Amino acid sequence: MKSNYKIADSISVIGEFIIFNSYIISHLIKVKKRFIEIIRQMKRIGFDSLLLITVTSGFTGLVTSVQASYQTSGYIPKNLIGVLVGKSTMIELAPVLTGLVLAGKVGASIAAEIGTMKVSEQIEALETMAIDPFDYIYMPRIVACGLMIPLLTIYSNLIGIFSAFVLSVEKYGVNAYSFFNNMRNFFLPSDLWGGLVKAFFFGLMISSIGCFAGSKASGGSEGVGKAATLTVVYSSIMILIMDFFIASILFGNVK
C-alpha cells in the first residue's frame, strides 16, 4: 500500500510540475514588461558564474587532451587530437558539464531564494497585492537561465579547447597549425548547434525545477534546504536523461 501511495504522490508531483510550466509559458507574453529583471537575472546567472565555468572548462580541456592522447596512442596521429577535443567538447562535454555545474550553483540558489520567500510568506504577500509570482518571480529566472546557459556553453567551448590546445602543443608536441586546421576541416555546424540546443533545454529544466521546488518549500529553514537539495538532484538527473534524448534526435540518424 505504501508503494502505491508513493507512486500516486510521484504522479501528482509530475502533474503539478507540468501545470506549473504551462503557467510559465502563458506568461511569456509579458517578457518585455520584466525586461530589467531578466537582465538582472542574466547577470547573476551568467557573469557571476564565469570564474566557476573557467576553472571547470579549463581542467576539462586538459583532461580531454590527456585522454585523447592516451586512448588514441598508436591508432590515430597526434595531429588529430584537435578533432577529438573539438567535437567531444562542443557536442557533449561543454553543455553537459556546464549544466551539471550550474545545477549546483544556479539551481540551488533559485530554489533557496524562492523557498525562503515561500516559508516567510513573501509570495503570499505579493499575491495579496495582486502581483502574480509567475510573472514577477518565476518567468524572469527561467527566461534568463534559458538564455545564459547556451552563452556560458560557448564560453566553455573556448576555454576547454584553448586549454587542450596549450597542453597538446607543450606536452605532446602537436603542431599548433595542425591542431586548429584539422579541427576546422572536420567541423560540422551541427557539432556546435547541437551542443547549444542541449544547453538551452538544460537551462530551462534547471530553472523550472528550482522555481517549482522553491514554491513548494515548507517547514522553515529545513524545508528551504530540502528544496535546494532536491533541485540539484533532480536537475542533474534530468540533464543526463535529456542529453540522451536530444542527442538521439539530433545525431541518432547518422550511419
Cell numbers for 119: 516559508
Q: The cell 536530444 sits on which residue?
A: 246
In a domain, 27, yes or no: no
- pLDDT tens-digit readout, 25-41: 888 888 888 899 999 99
Q: In terms of residue numbers, what domain contains 240?
A: 35-249
In a domain, 56, yes or no: yes
Q: How far is Cα 38 from Cα 35, in angstroms, rounded to an integer?
A: 5
In a domain, 244, yes or no: yes
Of 158, 56, 52, 151, give the one whose Cα is nearest residue 109. Answer: 52
Q: How far is Cα 127 from Cα 120, in angstroms, rounded to an integer?
A: 14
- pLDDT tens-digit readout, 227-240: 999 999 999 999 99
In a domain, 151, yes or no: yes
Q: How far is Cα 55 from Cα 74, in angstroms, rounded to an integer?
A: 31
In a domain, 18, yes or no: no
- Region 161-170 average pLDDT: 90
- pLDDT tens-digit readout, 38-60: 999 999 999 999 999 999 999 99
In a domain, 29, yes or no: no
Provide the number of structural domains found in the chain.
1
In a domain, 215, yes or no: yes
In a domain, 255, yes or no: no
